[in-house]
């Protein structure tokens, strides 16, 4: 009996030792497998990062923690891809902007220098002709200053240096005051004006000066490009959470292929609505940045010669 008990104890001990050896071997194999997987992951990350491709990591594993790690790595890779994409778009935009700035500054300055040279070389020029040329010099100089101011305003908006104190705005008053400032211009050009502003007060959250500039830009834009339809409208409306201002016209409109680009830097509407108009291409970009700085959004829809609508959306404030 003693020998049998001793044999059983020996067998149990051997079984325990065998199980421990198996566990150690399993852990060792797992460590080797994990090291291989980690080396492969590292190699794939280095390859994807160096090539700046849009690939993701694909690796078969039953380890839940390793799967979770791969998911997070793929999220980081996706974020990196977006950064690369945004950088490439910004680089193209900056190159186009620099090119257009050079052109838009060179053209009026060349005209100004031409007139100044004529004035300088002909001191006996008739007074009326001299006055006419000086007037053209003044106009071109003003155009150049407007362009430079627009450029620096956009730079400040995009860098976050523009001070935009937010407050409650009485939208009825802001919309009415802004559109009425264009009464003489619209009447002179025989525009039919539609104004829809509710009688009850509607409040939005934003910057009053910024909103005033946004509405001015959009109304000026509609007058500039919508003169074929001779109609212009402003509609103020609301829902439970937002206020909306629609500025619309019935002019030449904007083709569908251009709608996604009109808010881009240096995209001039000569490309889409009026090939004879030479604009800086910054007005609508500044408008969009101003609206976004106020926590709002701006949208465009257009059907040429029927209806073109810019809609500004801001947060609603209860009164």
Q: pTM to 2 decimals?
A: 0.60
Q: In the prediction, which pLDDT does 20 show?
A: 59
3-class SS of residue 305: coil
3-class SS of residue 318: coil
Q: In the prediction, which pLDDT does 271 show?
A: 43
For the stretch 97-124, pLDDT in tens is: 666 667 667 777 888 888 888 888 888 8
Quick one: which of 213, 217, 199, 237 has its CA closest to 313?
Answer: 237
Helices (H), the chain: 2-51, 64-121, 127-159, 171-180, 183-188, 208-225, 256-259, 283-293
Lowest average pLDDT, out of 157-161, 236-240, 261-265, 269-273, goes to 269-273
Q: What percent of the chain shows pLDDT beyond 90?
A: 28
Phi, psi of 261 (to 5 degrees): -110, -10
Domains observed in the chain: 37-162 (1.10.287.130), 169-317 (3.30.565.10)
Q: Is 311 exposed, middle or buried (0-12, 13-18, 19+ CB in 10 A)?
A: middle
Lowest average pLDDT, out of 19-23, 50-54, 73-77, 147-151, goes to 19-23
Q: In the prediction, which pLDDT does 36 show?
A: 67
3-class SS of residue 169: strand
Quick one: which of 300, 207, 232 has its CA closest to 262?
Answer: 300
Q: What percent of the chain shows pLDDT beyond 70?
A: 69
Q: In the prediction, which pLDDT does 294 show?
A: 93
Q: Is residue 160 a contact partner of residue 291, using CB atoms and an 8 Å limit?
A: no
pLDDT of residue 202 exceeding 50, the answer is: yes
pLDDT of residue 88 exceeding 60, the answer is: yes
∠ Cα 75 79 84 (to 5°): 145
Helix axes 2-51, 64-121, angle to 10 degrees: 10
pLDDT of residue 181 exceeding 60, the answer is: yes
pLDDT of residue 220 exceeding 70, the answer is: yes
**Mean pLDDT computed over every residue of the chain:** 78
**CA 41 – CA 249 distance, rounded (Å):** 57
């Amino acid at each position: 009996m003693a020998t049998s008990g001793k044999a059983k104890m020996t067998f149990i001990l051997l079984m325990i030792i065998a199980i421990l050896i198996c566990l150690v071997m399993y852990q060792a194999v797992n460590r080797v497998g994990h090291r291989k997987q980690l080396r492969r992951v590292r190699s794939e990350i280095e390859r994807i990062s160096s090539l700046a491709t849009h690939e993701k990591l694909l690796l078969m594993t039953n380890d839940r923690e390793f799967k979770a790690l791969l998911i997070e790595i793929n999220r980081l890779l996706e974020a990196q891809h977006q950064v690369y994409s945004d950088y490439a778009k910004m680089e193209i935009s900056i190159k186009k902007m620099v090119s257009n700035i050079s052109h838009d500054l060179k053209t009026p300055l060349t005209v100004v220098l031409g007139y100044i040279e004529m004035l300088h070389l002909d001191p006996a020029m008739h007074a009326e002709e001299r006055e006419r040329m000086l007037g053209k010099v003044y106009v071109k100089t003003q155009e150049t200053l407007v362009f430079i101011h627009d450029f620096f305003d956009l730079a400040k908006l995009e860098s976050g240096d523009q001070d935009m104190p937010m407050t409650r705005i009485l939208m009825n008053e802001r919309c009415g005051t802004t559109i009425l400032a264009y009464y003489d211009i619209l009447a002179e050009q025989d525009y039919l004006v539609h104004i829809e502003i509710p009688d009850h007060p509607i409040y939005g959250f934003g910057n009053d000066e910024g909103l005033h500039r946004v509405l001015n830009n959009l109304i000026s834009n509609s007058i500039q490009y919508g003169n074929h339809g001779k109609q212009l409208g402003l509609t103020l409306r609301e829902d439970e959470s937002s206020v909306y201002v629609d500025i619309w016209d019935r002019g030449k409109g904007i083709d569908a292929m251009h709608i996604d680009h009109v808010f881009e830097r240096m995209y001039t509407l000569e490309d889409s609505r009026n090939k004879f108009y030479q604009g800086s291409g910054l007005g609508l970009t500044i408008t969009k940045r101003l609206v976004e700085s106020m926590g709002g959004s701006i949208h465009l829809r257009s059907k040429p010669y029927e209806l073109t609508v810019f809609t500004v959306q801001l947060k609603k404030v209860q009164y």
